[in-house]
Amino acid sequence: MSIQAHRLSDQRYQRAYGFTAEALKILCCGSGSTQARLEKIDREFFSLRIEELPETGALRSTFESLKSLATACAPKYEGQGRIEANLSELHHKRAREIAELVWEIHEQFTAYMLRAETN
């Protein structure tokens, strides 16, 4: 595969990478508790499809763990999404687990994107 073809194939991950970077920014720079900051993250980040992430290392499995934690509980009323239901009811331990997974995803995704740029 040529360098140009490799770079073009990696452009498909830009949207997901943008959501990941924004999620981390909110966690680092936002105000309030961890739970409050998680609630401010764009729901599309939590709703990314696994195909939108590179097949590298543990990135996809880490994201699956995040998604599992963020959607563990059923909605409490009609019209409430699973992510909203979970984020609004988080215990501080689970909020921290989700925040740590966001960090791991960002770290793994950034490493992939940097490798893709240098190849």
List alpha helices for 33-76, DSSP H. 34-40, 43-46, 59-70
Find, among 85, 62, 68, the residue nearest to 16 by Cα. 62
pLDDT digits (tens, 9 = 90+) for 20-69: 999 999 999 999 999 999 999 999 999 999 999 998 889 999 999 999 99
What is the domain extent for residue 60?
A: 3-118
Count of structural domains, the chain: 1
Mean pLDDT, range 94-109, rounded to an integer: 95
pTM of the model: 0.85
